[in-house]
Amino acid sequence: MTPDPALDLVLQRLIDVPRELVWEVWTKPEHVSKWFTPAPWTVTDCEIDLRPGGIFRTTMRSPEGLEFPNVGCYLEVVPYERLVFTDALLPGYRPSANPFMTAIVTIEARGLQTLYTATALHRDEEARKRHEEMGFHQGWGTALDQLVAYAKQL
Amino acid sequence: MTPDPALDLVLQRLIDVPRELVWEVWTKPEHVSKWFTPAPWTVTDCEIDLRPGGIFRTTMRSPEGLEFPNVGCYLEVVPYERLVFTDALLPGYRPSANPFMTAIVTIEARGLQTLYTATALHRDEEARKRHEEMGFHQGWGTALDQLVAYAKQL
């Protein structure tokens, strides 16, 4: 799929972590909770059922101590290559009450490095703009910095 | 997945059509257009890209000649067993503007017959009720009668 600049947001970067390790830290709850939210936000809970239709749930805690649960559903799980999930569907593919985005994460080996591409798909320009204003580029960029730092010390 | 009576609608019937043929008439545009809408409604156009993320699009025409396009996306395609699609996502998994339901069609061989189960998943009771009032049971039942009659003369 080619991203649509009006509707989609893309973060792409060559990172200094092998592809297999990127996959690991994206797909196991004990890892996700270590890097997924830009500090000082934290992940207090994470549930992963890694198959199409399976749950991907995180609870994010703000610096003030407020908790924000996010529940979504995996759509594609291609080990070491591609992970797709959405909050437009709940586990088991039930439509959700507050759909916002679908995320596509692709990873490609580049020697010992990895070409990392995260794409957020939105239903309209308004949702894309809102996500941009919420800080997509900085937020997902900082989370990726944290992923790299965390993975390197594993 | 076990259907939730508060949120889901289920049509289950043993039909006198072999499983392979049920799959065929569900997955090829030239067949879908022959049975998919209860007469006197018709399907004037159908597009199928039979893979997860691929398009499932039909245009239904009312007896008065009004056309209603429906665009959705396949989620699971398991030949001769299971077909899942939703209008909560557009092709390529982009969230849609007007999500309503996910449909799960499962077929199981019972000798030369087929146990046919179609489940519609909704996000809340209101959507389930609305679908019921739109005539889910009669509509999907009549469409299934048409599927059986059409398949038998192939």
Opening angle at CA B50, ends A6 and B124, nearest 5: 70
Radius of gyration of chain A (CA): 15
| Residue range B106-148, pLDDT digits in tens | 999 999 999 999 999 999 999 999 999 999 999 999 999 999 9
Nearest residue to A70 (alpha-carbon basis) of A94, A92, A93, A47: A47
Joined together, the tokens standing for residue A92 give: 């088991």
Q: What is the pLDDT of residue B94?
A: 97
Residue B9: its chain A contacts at CB < 8 A?
A: none
Residue B49: its chain A contacts at CB < 8 A?
A: none
**CB–CB contact A92 B1 (8 Å):** yes
pLDDT of A74 > 90? The answer is: yes
Residue A94: its chain B contacts at CB < 8 A?
A: 7, 102, 121-123
Residue B88: its chain A contacts at CB < 8 A?
A: 88-89, 95-96, 99
pTM, whole model, 2 decimals? 0.95
Q: Is B152 on the interface with A (CB under 8 A)?
A: no
Q: What is the pLDDT of residue A1?
A: 75
Other CB atoms within 10 Å distance of the CB of residue B66:
8
> Rounded to an integer, what distance in angstroms lies between the CA atom of residue B95 and that of residue B144?
29
| Residue range A132-151, pLDDT digits in tens | 999 999 999 999 999 999 99
**CB–CB contact B95 A88 (8 Å):** yes
Cβ pair A94, B3 in contact under 8 A:
no
- Residues whose CB falls within 8 Å of the CB of residue A108, separated by 6 or more in sequence, listed in order: A19, A81, A114, A115, A117
Looking at the complex, report in whole angstroms how far the Cα of residue A98 sits from the nearest Cα belonging to chain B.
10
Looking at the complex, report in whole angstroms how far the Cα of residue A153 sits from the nearest Cα belonging to chain B.
35
- Tell me which residue in B75, B100, B123 faces A75 most closely, judged by beta carbons: B75
Opening angle at CA B32, ends B84 and B104, nearest 5: 15
Structure-token match 């039930």, residue found? A94
Q: What DSSP designation does A93 have?
A: G
- Tell me which residue in B52, B75, B93 faces A121 most closely, judged by beta carbons: B93
What is the residue-averaged pLDDT of chain A?
A: 96
> Rounded to an integer, what distance in angstroms lies between the CA atom of residue B76 and that of residue B27?
12
